[in-house]
Amino acid sequence: MTSTGAAVAATPAAAPTGGASEDDGARHPSVPGAPPGSSRWRQRLEIALFVTPALTLMAMFVVWPVVSAVRMSFFRWKGFGPMDDFVGLRNYEQVLTDTVFRDAVVHNLTIVGLSIAVQLPLGLLLAVLLNRRIRGRGLLRTIVFVPYVLAEVIAGVVWFQLLQPRSGLIEEILTTVGITPPDQGFLGTPDLALWTVFVVLTWKYLGLAVLLFLAGLQGVPDELYEAAQLDGASWWQTQRSVALPLLGPTIRTWAFLSMIGSLQLFDMVWILTGGGPANATTTMATYLVSQGTQRGNYGIAGAASVVLFVVAFVMALLYQVLVLRRDTADQR
Amino acid sequence: MTTLQEMRPVSDADDPRTPRGRAPRQRGSSFGGGGPLVYGLALAVVALTLGPVVYGALGGFRSNEQLIRDPAGLPDPWVTGNYERVVTNPDFWGYALNSTVIAVITTAIAVIAGVMAAYPLARYQFRLREPLFMVFVLGLLFPVAVAIIPLFILITRDLGLGNTWWGVALPQAAFALPTTVVILRPFLMALPRELEEAAFIDGASRIGVFRHIALPLVAPGLVTVGVLAFVASWNAYLLPLLLLQDDMRTLPLGVADYSTQYSADTAGVLAFTTIAMIPALVLFLAMQRRIVSGLQGAVKG
């Protein structure tokens, strides 16, 4: 089997439709997929038994909170007393006209765009390099992946120290090279803060891209390289014309993961800047957390959650329709 | 939908460390080998990647006065006091305990409930099978951030689980379930039908088959999803931030709070952070194959 997608799609063809097979299972106990003597009811009971714990957890801690967020978004509610001050869409109006939130959306989208524009070429370059038969390749691969394993918080605290104005190592290095760091430090200057956060995020997540691309490159059959080599292609030509096109599905899936991650960005920003300076690095997630927990504007937080979800969902859907569908079609 | 089309079980044959076709190439031609440029670049990558980590570890061996005088210097003399203070700090061990217990509970629940749910979705034929699977797939699209405020209210007020291990572990397990089910289902689907049929003929029940045949056979998959759930819980910040206070805090919270509380004590912060990194790094090194193949398996086309 090649993928879940294929498996999912193949199921109806491989087996008769669900209803029919249930009946078959009851009448002919020897049909694969049902133990002898098991009745329809017994099978249903077993399924229920197997699925209940997971569904209960999901219902309680995923579905219910999301539904409450939607409900909350229609009320003015400070977190105590009954939720009865229905305000219709006013919370949405307030969130969508709040320049802080609008900026937050822009920041999220900037990180989405930058990640793909910067981490994709960088990741590809490193993956192609690491795919060569160089000494210490295994060790190199482990090292590249180290930042990804660290908690965002821990990486953030170390970088916060590195980026300290005046006393931090980064400014020290830049000063020796002859670059004057900004007075307020990189994280304290509104024009630079978001870029600085992005640099740290790239440090943290580039390893994942490299790793996934490497896996993709290893799926390229050696014969293809050899054929290209025989035809007189140079190493770079081979990478560009043979390996890269075959990496397509891996790249597209990585970009999707990266996009979803960037839209949910919270930890790193909270640690490095807390959304500041002057809201220069707020994201949708930091906005809704500070509205909800620090200011007690639960209705506003609810509306912001819903907007975050809608943005993520629409982008995921668009991506699925416009980009990933090609892969699914390819697999057929 | 979405990324799941790419998901499939990862066997050891797919392991990144055993690339297919490791046929010996004729003379290490420039094609696969590395010139000085390649090694130079590799070195730069190592320096940039490990730099911050090494800076933190070495910084912990310096005094604050040393750090201010020369941010880029090496420890001179080596000071062990910072690390000693962290290791003898009962708070640190409390955070480590909380992180461990929460990660273990989260992992146990996610893996057990996950494999149970994945089993009928893989091995039974029934009408609601695909719709039910879609529920888990859609679950992937709900980030914790969307649900965080109502979750906070639900856990602290309605369930009275605020500031407890279970209060964090239960929702974390719930959010880990979609990935778990989606990764495990293809593992279970790949089991040969003959094994089950043989067991049925021998009189085994469905549940018996699940426990004694399916579970042992998908053990590698269980380890992969277990490690992913454990690492996610170990590194989690947002949910613990809202739910845990004081001596119930986890390591990431402890590190973050320590660094704001004692911001003047840079050396102490670096020592604390470095020690807090160790468990994740050790786990990663021990489980590298599993984590890597799990992640790669999730994306490979």
A31 token code pair:
């049909």
Q: How much is the pLDDT for B29?
A: 38
Establish if B73 touches chain A: CB-CB under 8 angstroms. no
Cα three-residue angle B164-B167-B169, rounded to 5 degrees: 105
Q: Is the pLDDT of residue A57 over 90?
A: yes
Q: What ipTM describes this predicted complex?
A: 0.81
Kindly determine whether residue B136 and residue A58, on different chains, have CB atoms separated by under 8 Å. yes
Rg (CA), chain B: 24
Asked if A53 and B115 count as a contact pair (C-beta separation under 8 A), the reply is no
User: Which of A2, A3, A67, A226 is the mutation pick for testing B, counting most B CBs within 10 A?
Assistant: A3
- Shared domain for A55 and A174, answered yes or no, is no
- Domains: count for chain A: 2
Residues 246-305 in A contacting B (C-alpha not used; CB under 8 Å)? 248-250, 253-254, 256-257, 260, 263-264, 266-267, 270-271, 284-285, 288-289, 292-293, 298, 301-302, 305
Kindly determine whether residue A1 and residue B129, on different chains, have CB atoms separated by under 8 Å. no
Q: How much is the pLDDT for A268?
A: 94
Per CB-CB distance under 8 Å, the chain A contacts of B190 are 1
pLDDT digits (tens, 9 = 90+) for A200-257: 999 999 988 888 888 788 777 778 888 887 888 887 788 777 778 888 878 888 888 8
Establish if A321 touches chain B: CB-CB under 8 angstroms. no
Kindly determine whether residue A140 and residue B50, on different chains, have CB atoms separated by under 8 Å. no
Measured between alpha carbons, how far is A204 from A149 in angstroms, rounded to an integer?
Answer: 9
Kindly determine whether residue A152 and residue B235, on different chains, have CB atoms separated by under 8 Å. yes
Q: How much is the pLDDT for A114?
A: 96
Shortest distance between the Cα of B151 and any Cα of chain A, in A, equals 5
Task: Tell me whether residue A103 is in a domain.
Answer: yes
Kindly determine whether residue A18 and residue B173, on different chains, have CB atoms separated by under 8 Å. no
- Shared domain for A54 and A100, answered yes or no, is no
- Shared domain for A169 and A51, answered yes or no, is no
Asked if B118 and B177 count as a contact pair (C-beta separation under 8 A), the reply is no
Task: Tell me whether residue A18 is in a domain.
Answer: no
Per-chain mean pLDDT for chain A: 82
Closest alpha carbon within chain B to A283: B145
Taking domain B84-299, whether its CATH number is 1.10.3720.10 is answered by yes
CB burial string B231-262: b at 16+ within 10 A, e below: bbbbbbbbbbbbbbeeebbbbbbbbbebbeee
DSSP state string for B124-175: ---TTHHHHHHHHHHHTT--HHHHHHHHHHIIIIIS--TTSHHHHHHHHHHH
Q: How much is the pLDDT for B52?
A: 92
Residue B54 has a CB neighbour count (10 Å cut-off) of: 12
Task: Tell me whether residue A74 is in a domain.
Answer: no
Per CB-CB distance under 8 Å, the chain B contacts of A238 are 31
- Shared domain for A107 and A51, answered yes or no, is no
pLDDT digits (tens, 9 = 90+) for B100-124: 999 999 999 999 999 999 999 988 8
Task: Tell me whether residue A31 is in a domain.
Answer: no
Amino acid at A125: L
* Average pLDDT estimate for A24-50: 64
- Shared domain for A52 and A152, answered yes or no, is no
Measured between alpha carbons, how far is B232 from B106 in angstroms, rounded to an integer?
Answer: 10
Kindly determine whether residue A4 and residue B186, on different chains, have CB atoms separated by under 8 Å. yes
Shortest distance between the Cα of A255 and any Cα of chain B, in A, equals 10
How many CA atoms within 13 Å lie on the side-chain side of A90?
Answer: 9
Closest alpha carbon within chain A to B134: A8
* Average pLDDT estimate for A321-331: 66
Q: How much is the pLDDT for A154?
A: 92
Range of the domain at A44: 36-61
Task: Tell me whether residue A84 is in a domain.
Answer: no
Task: Tell me whether residue A198 is in a domain.
Answer: yes
* Cα-based distances in Å from A26 to A50, B107, B127, B208: 20, 37, 14, 20
- Shared domain for A101 and A150, answered yes or no, is yes
Tokens 């900037």 — which residue? A110
- Shared domain for A54 and A96, answered yes or no, is no
Neighbouring-strand partners of residue A75: A86
Shortest distance between the Cα of B255 and any Cα of chain A, in A, equals 7
Q: How much is the pLDDT for B296?
A: 65
Taking only the tens of pLDDT, chain B with its 301 residues reads 334 334 444 444 444 444 444 444 433 333 456 678 888 888 888 999 999 999 999 988 988 888 888 877 788 888 888 899 988 989 999 999 999 999 999 999 999 999 999 999 988 888 888 889 888 888 877 888 888 888 998 998 889 998 999 999 999 999 999 989 988 888 888 888 888 888 888 888 888 888 888 888 888 888 888 888 998 899 999 999 999 988 899 999 999 999 888 888 888 999 999 999 888 888 878 887 777 766 666 554 3
pLDDT digits (tens, 9 = 90+) for A140-186: 888 888 898 899 999 999 999 999 887 788 888 888 888 888 888 89
- Shared domain for A112 and A152, answered yes or no, is yes
Judged by average pLDDT, the poorest of A11-25, A28-42, A103-117, A124-138 is A11-25
Kindly determine whether residue A3 and residue B5, on different chains, have CB atoms separated by under 8 Å. yes
Per CB-CB distance under 8 Å, the chain A contacts of B300 are 215-216, 219, 250
Q: How much is the pLDDT for A101?
A: 95
- Shared domain for A293 and A163, answered yes or no, is yes
- Shared domain for A41 and A122, answered yes or no, is no
| Domain coordinates in residue numbering, chain B | 84-299
- Shared domain for A215 and A113, answered yes or no, is yes
Residues 90-129 in A contacting B (C-alpha not used; CB under 8 Å)? 126, 129
Q: How much is the pLDDT for A20?
A: 38
* Cα-based distances in Å from B298 to A77, A98, B6, B122: 41, 38, 6, 18
Task: Tell me whether residue A253 is in a domain.
Answer: yes
Establish if A11 touches chain B: CB-CB under 8 angstroms. yes
Neighbouring-strand partners of residue A86: A75
Kindly determine whether residue B242 and residue A134, on different chains, have CB atoms separated by under 8 Å. no
Task: Tell me whether residue A43 is in a domain.
Answer: yes
- Shared domain for A53 and A167, answered yes or no, is no
* Average pLDDT estimate for A4-19: 34
Q: Where are the alpha helices (DSSP H) in chain A?
A: 4-14, 18-27, 40-58, 64-72, 90-97, 99-114, 120-130, 137-149, 152-162, 169-177, 190-218, 222-230, 235-238, 244-263, 267-272, 284-289, 298-319, 325-331
